[in-house]
Amino acid sequence: MLPKNRARGSRLLSLAAGIVRGMKSVQPEVFLVARPSIDYQAFADYLHQVGGDSWLEKLDRGDLDDAQNLVEFAGKICYRSWEPGLNPNISRVRTDQEQYLTQGILAQLHGSVLEHASFSFVLHNVSRVATHELVRHRPGVAISQESLRFVRLTDIPFWFPDWASQDEELMKRATGLLEQMEEFQRWLADHFGLDEPGVKFSEKKHKTSFMRRFAPDGVATGMLWTANIRTLRHTIEARTDTGAEEEIRLIFGKIGELMRAEAPVLFGDYTVTDGAWVPRWRKV
Ligand SMILES: Cc1cc2nc3c(=O)[nH]c(=O)nc-3n(C[C@H](O)[C@H](O)[C@H](O)COP(=O)(O)OP(=O)(O)OC[C@H]3O[C@@H](n4cnc5c(N)ncnc54)[C@H](O)[C@@H]3O)c2cc1C
């Protein structure tokens, strides 16, 4: 505990800092940071052994197609359908990738092959409102979320939708409230003496966890979210639905756009109306 006069002096400094710094308004952002990458030589070595060289020869190895190539590979390995004759039960095979992925996979609801291709997204400046909702999606995901038990809040970054930021009275009151909460965070840190020399990390963590209770659900934070294509198809639909929450709709609209660019065939069956992504083949 700090001596009272020191604590009071620091609080005044913190108050002044709060006024100078003001409130940090942010926008949710999505960065696609990782995608599947095929080792085509390993593909070739395997296919040579099973007599599937011709499939690889005609494969489009364009930069954007690794996810689709991997999904096609996953599907073809099931029926040994690299070319006619390898499986005596099959007299013809689909050679066009778009046809294969749409008619052979999506339309047949063979969703499991989509699970081989995963993508990782940094969701930056997204609120705990959004992350609470996102973590309800369980299969096919990996999550690493910024820990507000370890990371001490020095400000409270916050996203305002356009309609809110145009409401002057709302913004005045909301900004005042947030600045007060920011000042309280700084006061608490000072009050607990967290930056004093020699404070153990366990003590910082303990108090930081207490302090986060005074941050709103809307505080902007971040996570690394990884999902496979099967999960992405389902979550893009669910979370852009017109009934879904507006921030998560915004995030998943961005994810939908990114995925349509990455794997145009596997995300080409969506119709986007009023921001809602509705697939032709639902829940594969
Ligand atoms: C518009 C909207 C409003 C919502 N409102 C609320 C609300 O008011 N309150 C609330 O609590 N939640 C709410 N949710 C969350 C919702 O109930 C789901 O928990 C969330 O969307 C996860 O989706 P999911 O159930 O499809 O599961 P996911 O985890 O995304 O799983 C995908 C699919 O895998 C299968 N699956 C996953 N786990 C299992 C399992 N254990 N057993 C069998 N099959 C499984 C199911 O087919 C499931 O659809 C809302 C979601 C949306 C999109």
Task: State pLDDT tens for residues 153-196.
Answer: 999 999 999 999 999 999 999 999 999 999 999 999 999 999 99
User: Residue 59: which pLDDT band, with cuts at 50, 70 and 90?
Assistant: confident
Q: What pLDDT is recorded for position 64?
A: 66
Rounded to the nearest whole angstrom, what is the distance from the C-alpha of residue 142 to the centroid of ligand 1?
16
162, 171 in Cβ contact below 8 A? no
Nearest CA to ligand 1 atom 3: 244
User: Residue 260: which pLDDT band, with cuts at 50, 70 and 90?
Assistant: very high
Task: State pLDDT tens for residues 73-95.
Answer: 999 999 999 988 888 888 888 88
Question: To test the ligand 1 pocket, which listed residue (109, 129, 132, 133) has its Cβ within 8 A of the most ligand atoms?
Answer: 133
Question: Does the predicted TM-score (pTM) go above 0.75?
Answer: yes
Q: Spell out which residues line ligand 1, taking CB within 6 angstroms.
A: 136-139, 234, 238-239, 241, 243-244
Residue 167, C-beta contacts closer than 8 angstroms, at least 6 positions apart: none
Task: State pLDDT tens for residues 3-41.
Answer: 433 443 333 333 333 333 467 899 999 999 999 999 999
Rounded to the nearest whole angstrom, what is the distance from the C-alpha of residue 235 to the centroid of ligand 1?
9
Rounded to the nearest whole angstrom, what is the distance from the C-alpha of residue 32 to the centroid of ligand 1?
24
Catalytic residues: 239
Q: What pLDDT is recorded for position 125?
A: 98
**Domain locations along the chain:** 4-33+124-222, 37-116
Question: To test the ligand 1 pocket, which listed residue (129, 137, 230, 242) has its Cβ within 8 A of the most ligand atoms?
Answer: 137
